Amino acid sequence: MTEAVIFDVDGTLVDTNYLHAVTWWETFRQHGHEVDMAAVHRAIGMGSDKLLDQLLPEDRDRDGDEDVRAGHKTLYRLFWERLRAFEGAADLLRACAARGRKVVLASSADGDEMKALLAALDADDAISAVTSSADAEQSKPAPDIVQVALERAGVQADQAIFVGDTVWDVKACARAGLPCVAVLSGGIGADELREAGAVAVYDGTAHLLRELDDSPLAE
C-alpha cells in the first residue's frame, strides 16, 4: 500500500519552469553564452550543476560557474513574490494527507527559494517533510533527493509514489526504485514522459485531484 506521496515542486506544484528557463537564458547571455531557449527549457528539472554541464561548453572556464548560478538566482528572485501554485495543487496535497498518506516535497531549491515556493503553495498543514539542495550530494537525475525524501517519510521505495513533471524526475525515481506519476504542467510532452517510464500522465494537479481515487496514488 502507498504510505507516502512525494512531490516535486517546480513545474509540478508551482508554475516556475518557464521563469527558470527565461532567467537561465538571460544569465547565460550576460555571461557570453548563447543557448537556445528550447534547450534551456528541456534541462529544467536538473540541478544547476548538471544543467550547466548539459548546456554550456565542456571546455569552459568552470571557475565562472558559481557566478552564473548566482546570476540566475538574482534574476529569478525578482519573481518570488509573484510565484503561483497550480490550480488544485494545495488541495491535492491535502487530499493525499486526508487519505492517510505522508506528503513530502522533494525539491532541490535552497532554503530561501524553498520558503518562497512554500508561501506560494500555502499548504503547510498537509506537508510532513521538505527537502532542499543541502540534503543531496547529487541532483536529479541522480536519485539522491528522492532517497532523502523516502528517509524523511520513513518508508521504503515500494511504499511510496512520486509526482513530477520532467524526464529527470522520472529517471531519478527509476534509479531510486519507485514509480513516478507525471503531470504536463512543466511543458514536457506526455509521450516523452511515458517513454522515460512514467506510470501515468495527467494534465496537471487539478486533473490528478479529480482522478485521485482512480489514480496510482490511491493504490
What's the pLDDT score for residue 132? 85
Phi/psi at 55 (5° precision)? -105, -25
What's the pLDDT score for residue 108? 84
What's the pLDDT score for residue 152? 95
Which residues 6+ apart lie within 8 Å of 153 measured at CB? 3, 4, 6, 102, 104, 128, 129, 160
All structural domains of the chain? 4-15+83-218 (3.40.50.1000), 17-78 (1.10.150)
What's the pLDDT score for residue 217? 96
Q: CA angle 203-123-97, nearest 5°?
A: 80
Q: Beta partners for 164?
A: 182
* Cβ atoms of 145 and 166 closer than 8 Å: no
**Of residues 141, 137, 24, 112, the one with CA closest to residue 76:** 24
Write b or e for each residue in 92-108: b if 16 or more Cβ atoms lie within 10 A of its Cβ, otherwise e.
bbbbbbeeebbbbbbbb
What's the pLDDT score for residue 133? 82
Q: Against a cut of 0.85, is the pTM above it? A: yes
Mean pLDDT of each 10-residue bin along the chain, 219 residues long? 95 98 98 97 92 95 95 97 98 98 93 95 97 86 95 97 97 97 98 98 98 95
